[in-house]
Chain A
Amino acid sequence: MKRRQHRPSFALNPNRLGHFGPYGGRFVPETLISALDELTQAYRKLKRNRSFQLELAEYLSAYAGRPTPLYEARNLSARVGQEVRIFLKREDLCHTGAHKINNTIGQALLAQYLGKKRIIAETGAGQHGVAAATAARLFNLTCDVYMGVEDMKRQSLNVYKMELLGARVLPVHSGSKTLKDATNEAIRDWVTNVETTHYLLGSVVGPHPYPMMVRDFQSVIGREARKQIREQFRSSVDVLMACVGGGSNAIGLFYPFLRDPVRLIGVEAAGLGLSTGRHAASLAKGSVGVLHGMRSLVLQDEDGQIRLAHSISAGLDYPSVGPEHAYLKKTGRAQYISATDRDAIRGFHLLTKLEGIMPALEPAHVIGILPALAQRFRRGAKIIVCLSGRGDKDLDIVRRATHSGDATT
């Protein structure tokens, strides 16, 4: 890759209407518009408010465990070959086990500033739900979490965790009974209780300002990584990689590097394979559409009905993607590839055996395809991978997939 300052042929922020190029915006019932306006204004103020930012930084370090380490995975690098150096941004070491807490602390603090006493959240795997319930305890807010009944079955431990944290987990029976429908239900709740409730959205999706705001809260990942690679390793970086469902950990890592000469690669879930139709690769296989209040790339059928996504990891199992990713793809600033369920299982075992780190199945997608990608990297390339969460929540799934012969290590 050429060494030059990347000329920004793209915008770093959405316009006034929340558009990232042709994507983003606000496609919601009128009832929510004034709440979104209020949120946008409050957020713009707090973004520049020193005491808010200091308070947030304090919670992130003392409570959430930031900064997270940037760890050079030498054994994994050796396995991948080509003399590459792989660095793992250890978001799995955050409190509650994933990067989700960066956003929930930020938004719960914001809810406090807004004077809202109740938060609601949607969750798929339950990671965001647990992180939201945790932040709710920290700031003494009432917390209701919407979760599809299918996901509640798959992730019963996280349901129990949320309940222990004093959150109410509200089962969603409509539609596909997964994250997509939990999100619908959370929005319906917000329409009903908009004056008392803050909707704590968990990814860089939804109506403006959420994609921008959640990105900003998650950008702490990239800011730290950028500093660490320079100061700790006295090195530059060539490639950033992260898994993409809604895309919050990926944009969090990418954003502070957008103007650097660094290649950005997002990895979507190819599920059983892109040609099977059973995947969650909305960037690769989606078309322009409107879902959950945003215009983005969406998995849909020929009549414009939203299709079911599939991935072995509930965190990537979403039929759309954040509008900024759609924009980065369109402008060519980032590339997006995909990895299958089997790649993810393989990645899980690889990192566990080589480094003694059990990754969540979401970032395991990235690990799993690294060996196959090595040829495409420059010899000696330096790669930062966002290890967005730890694998405890997925052990049952890993055990089943491994025993059914779904993976080779």
Chain B
Amino acid sequence: MNNRLTRCLARAGKNKEKLFCAYVMLGYPSVAKTEAVVRVLEQAGTDILELGFPFSDPLADGPTIQYASEHAIRNGVTLEDAFRVVKRLRHRGIEIPILFFSYLNPILCYGASRFVRRLQASGFDGSIVPDLPPEEGKELETMLRQSRLSMVYLVAPTTRRNRMRAIAGRSNGFIYYVSLRGITGARRAVPRDLVKTVKILKRLTRKPVLVGFGISQPEQVRTITRVADGVVVGSAIIDRLRNGAGVPSIGGYISRLVRALKTRR
């Protein structure tokens, strides 16, 4: 498959570079602000963007993203906004891969095939759906593939080894490894069994493994990327926006994390 995501991953693999993936919630604090944040994230060295779309019942998310979701829904965000924003970002020359990140229900409600067509037309590169395990994901996965879009699946610390292998085979682009048993939200430490499990997963696949959930500190980024190919940071960005941080200071924060990740050790 050839899209911005696969090209980005291939380049990073060749240059032995680690990847920084950022998550933002569309419409938090506003659609305009989301766009501004994305541009700053890109300038600060973000390699991959996950554009979160709000759902009223986000099972896998902690208080931060729950709050941002409720806020975005109150702002009246729709899928059309997601398509429009990405189209505009592409017009303005933002060329980093962008993945659509949401729960399944808004996608089903919109109609999966119509959703995939619009996703592709507006300049997305793929999708991550945290409540769609591979058993249930075949239909969407096939539609995405036919539109040259990636479907990224998640692996958790509780995933058994043969299932890990199967998911790694199905996941397109990279594998999203959930760092901990729990929900999203910034934490300070690195879970004890993380390094070991990522090593096991890396032995089962040649696809890059990105680690998300609970990451907010440069020190965590350094530890995790000793074994993983990159990290995903989300709640920590939203926390800063929620505490009133301006867009430039978000840029500064991301630069520090990216530096921790790109510096050779």
Contacts and interface: CB of A to CB of B under 8 A. Distances in A.
Nearest to B67: A174
A305 interface: yes
A304 B183 contact: no
Interface string A282-302: 000001111111000010101
B70 interface: yes
A35 interface: yes
A296 to B, nearest CB: 11
Contacts of A191: 59-60, 181-183
B158 A303 contact: no
Contact of B156 (A29, A287, A293): A29
A12 B70 CA distance: 39
A88 interface: no
Interface string B36-63: 0000000000000000001111111011
Nearest to B154: A30
Given A29-B60, A175-B57, A306-B56, A290 B133 contact: no
A187 interface: yes
The majority secondary structure among interface residues of chain B is loop
Contacts of B108: 288-290, 304
A180 B57 CA distance: 8
A34 B109 contact: no
B104 A30 contact: no
Contacts of A73: none
The A interface, classified by DSSP as helix, strand, loop or mixed, is mixed
A188 B180 CA distance: 12
Interface residues on B, range: 35 or more
A192 B182 CA distance: 4
A246 to B, nearest CB: 15
A300 B182 contact: no
Interface in A27-44: 27-35
B59 A290 contact: no
A305 B155 contact: no
Nearest to B177: A30
User: 6 closest Cβ contacts across the A-B interface?
Assistant: A304-B109, A304-B106, A31-B156, A192-B182, A30-B156, A305-B56
15 contacts: A17-B135, A27-B132, A30-B155, A30-B158, A30-B178, A31-B181, A175-B56, A175-B70, A184-B58, A188-B62, A192-B181, A290-B105, A293-B131, A305-B55, A305-B106
Interface of B: 54-60, 62-63, 66, 70, 73, 78-79, 103-110, 130-133, 135-136, 153-160, 163, 167, 178, 181-183
Given A188-B182, A188-B183, A305-B54, 18 more contacts: A26-B133, A26-B135, A27-B136, A29-B154, A30-B167, A31-B156, A31-B157, A31-B178, A175-B56, A175-B70, A181-B57, A192-B182, A194-B158, A195-B158, A289-B105, A290-B108, A300-B105, A305-B73
